[in-house]
């Protein structure tokens, strides 16, 4: 066995150009697969963070089977629910919201919007939207004599209004209060980077919303939950927080398009893996066959002096194994180097909306354990499969025909 290992190493180095080309193909392919996996994981993480942190949150609690935009669909047993959420304060933060639909108008322009009443302090801990005010400032939790709102940059553009201007909101009030209408001052304009948020959302504080919609104390239509640790997004215990006739939904249920997008990125990774599979199969099979044809006379000699077919088969397989092992090591090093470099600089991705998530920052590739054992093992196994047929062919060479050919 030691002799076969020594011969395998020697044979790999006999034609260094072919060995270099074959190894380079596997090395670059593996490094590319590792980097693409890290990039896709970073892309997924960025999409989830962008979708959940801006305003949506990781989980939302609503009245079960009730229309989320109706003021009559208030959270049931709010005190008991708030108490349960408070006990999980080390894992989550939460923000109760008043939610309904309405119409906003300014001068001759009108637009359909979604109106939210929020608690400023709670909302700052749950989402980043209040931190994205680019013009003006965030209102306080106090009731103002001149009611104030925050609107998105796109909505301000469509309504042709600026900071300090007034607009009129029209909506349905709670219970039997009928239609409500009031004039509001624009306290600030936010830019989240997400088209739907910047175009369709109007924010006001809780006291203003309760007065405007004639709501009682602790009447909320939605509770947004933010996990302090991203790993808790799949924590089963969080799905049992809702009490009474309430239901809890994760971001996967709230944005099914994003969940589908994550599946698509996984499919993209699989497609690249298949391409690498065929590339490795063809490259290794060709390289091993060329190596065998160059040594056909030698194969005939060693078969003539009594070397078993099994030993010849094992020799070819060892050559393929050591070549793929060396390529795997180099591929891991190159892939790790690329990830390290782009973790410092990020991968430019522009400003796009991808499966319902807005991406407006550089993508940071993420290291994953599988990149360092799964993909190298995959390359080595594929190389061994590719060498099977050439090894079987070499083991069945007729020594008389091989010697005559020389």
**Tens digit of pLDDT for each residue in 109-124?**
899 999 999 999 999 9
347 occurs within a structural domain: yes
Residue 235 shares a structural domain with residue 308: no
Of the ranges 58-67, 129-138, 158-167, which one carries the lowest mean pLDDT score?
58-67
59 occurs within a structural domain: no
Q: Which residue has the higher pLDDT, 47 or 295?
A: 47
pLDDT at 185 over 90: yes
pLDDT of residue 337: 94
Residue 232 shares a structural domain with residue 290: no
pLDDT at 133 over 90: yes
Q: What total number of domains does the chain contain?
A: 2
Nearest to 252 by CA among 396, 57, 32, 43: 57
Residue 44 shares a structural domain with residue 70: no
pLDDT of residue 72: 80
Residue 11 shares a structural domain with residue 102: no
Of the ranges 36-50, 196-210, 330-344, which one carries the lowest mean pLDDT score?
36-50
pLDDT at 184 over 90: yes
pLDDT of residue 115: 95
Residue 163 shares a structural domain with residue 306: no
- Give CA–CA dist 327/182, Å, rounded: 70
Split at pLDDT 50, 70, 90, the class of 266 is confident
pLDDT of residue 100: 92
177 occurs within a structural domain: yes
pLDDT digits (tens, 9 = 90+) for 304-363: 777 788 888 888 888 888 888 999 999 999 999 999 999 988 888 766 666 666 677 788
pLDDT at 186 over 80: yes
Residue 157 shares a structural domain with residue 263: no
pLDDT of residue 183: 93
- Taking residues 47-59, what's their average pLDDT? 84
Residue 395 shares a structural domain with residue 356: yes
- Taking residues 141-166, what's their average pLDDT? 92
Of the ranges 65-74, 181-190, 364-373, which one carries the lowest mean pLDDT score?
65-74
Structure tokens at 144: 């103002």
Residue 237 shares a structural domain with residue 124: yes
249 occurs within a structural domain: no
Domain, as residue range, for 180: 65-244
Residue 22 shares a structural domain with residue 124: no
pLDDT of residue 23: 85
Q: Which of 213, 244, 275 is the last residue of a domain?
A: 244
252 occurs within a structural domain: no
Residue 237 shares a structural domain with residue 264: no
Residue 29 shares a structural domain with residue 89: no
Q: Which of 244, 276, 304 is the last residue of a domain?
A: 244
Spell out the residues 6+ positions from residue 306 whose beta carbon is closer than 8 angstroms to its own: none
254 occurs within a structural domain: no
Residue 201 shares a structural domain with residue 331: no
pLDDT of residue 10: 75
pLDDT of residue 281: 81
pLDDT of residue 138: 93
Spell out the residues 6+ positions from residue 357 whose beta carbon is closer than 8 angstroms to its own: 46, 47, 48, 50, 51, 194, 255, 258, 261
pLDDT at 406 over 60: no
With a pLDDT cut of 70, the percent of the chain lying above it is 91
250 occurs within a structural domain: no
Q: Which of 244, 269, 287 is the last residue of a domain?
A: 244
Of the ranges 5-19, 21-35, 181-195, 361-375, which one carries the lowest mean pLDDT score?
5-19
253 occurs within a structural domain: no
Split at pLDDT 50, 70, 90, the class of 169 is very high
- Average pLDDT over the chain, rounded to an integer: 84
- Taking residues 100-105, what's their average pLDDT? 93
pLDDT digits (tens, 9 = 90+) for 267-315: 888 888 888 778 878 888 888 878 777 777 777 777 777 778 888 888 8
pLDDT of residue 68: 57
Find residue 203's DSSP bridge partners.
Answer: 116, 150
pLDDT digits (tens, 9 = 90+) for 357-393: 667 778 889 988 888 888 899 889 888 888 888 888 8
Give this prediction's pTM.
0.76
């Amino acid at each position: 066995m030691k002799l076969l290992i020594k011969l395998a190493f020697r044979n790999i180095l006999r034609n260094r150009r072919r060995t270099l080309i074959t190894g380079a193909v596997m090395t670059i392919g593996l490094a590319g697969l590792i980097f693409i996996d890290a990039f896709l994981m970073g892309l997924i993480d960025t999409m989830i963070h962008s979708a959940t942190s801006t305003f949506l949150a990781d989980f939302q609690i609503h009245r079960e089977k009730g229309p989320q935009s109706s003021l009559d669909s208030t959270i049931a047993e709010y005190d008991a629910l708030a108490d349960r959420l408070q006990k999980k304060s080390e894992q989550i933060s939460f923000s109760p919201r008043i939610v309904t639909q309405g119409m906003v108008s300014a001068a001759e322009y009108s637009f359909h919007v979604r109106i939210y009443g929020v608690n400023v302090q709670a909302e700052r801990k749950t989402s980043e939207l209040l931190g994205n005010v680019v013009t003006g400032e965030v209102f306080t939790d106090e009731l103002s004599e001149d009611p104030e709102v925050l609107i998105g940059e796109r909505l301000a553009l469509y309504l042709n209004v600026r900071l300090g201007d007034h607009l009129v909101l029209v909506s349905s009030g709670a219970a039997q209060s009928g239609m409500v209408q009031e004039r509001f001052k624009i306290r600030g304009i936010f830019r989240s980077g997400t088209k739907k948020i910047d175009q369709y959302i109007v924010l006001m504080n809780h006291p203003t919303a309760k007065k405007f919609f004639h709501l009682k104390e602790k009447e909320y239509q939605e509770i947004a939950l933010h996990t302090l640790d991203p790993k808790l997004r799949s924590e089963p215990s969080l799905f049992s927080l809702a009490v009474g006739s309430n239901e809890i939904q994760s971001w996967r249920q709230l944005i099914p398009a994003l969940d589908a997008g994550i599946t698509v990125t996984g499919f993209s990774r699989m497609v690249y893996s298949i391409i690498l599979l065929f590339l490795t199969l063809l490259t290794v099979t060709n390289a091993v066959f060329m190596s065998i044809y160059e040594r056909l006379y030698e194969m005939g000699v060693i078969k003539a002096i009594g070397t078993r077919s099994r030993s010849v088969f094992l020799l070819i397989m060892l050559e393929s194994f050591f070549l793929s092992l060396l390529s795997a090591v180099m591929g891991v090093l190159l892939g790790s180097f690329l990830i390290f470099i782009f973790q410092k600089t990020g991968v430019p991705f522009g400003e796009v909306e991808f499966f319902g998530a807005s991406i407006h920052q550089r993508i940071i590739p993420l290291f994953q354990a599988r990149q360092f054992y799964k993909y190298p093992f995959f390359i080595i196994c594929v190389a061994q499969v590719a060498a099977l047929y050439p090894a079987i062919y070499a083991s069945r060479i007729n020594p008389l025909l091989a010697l005559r050919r020389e």
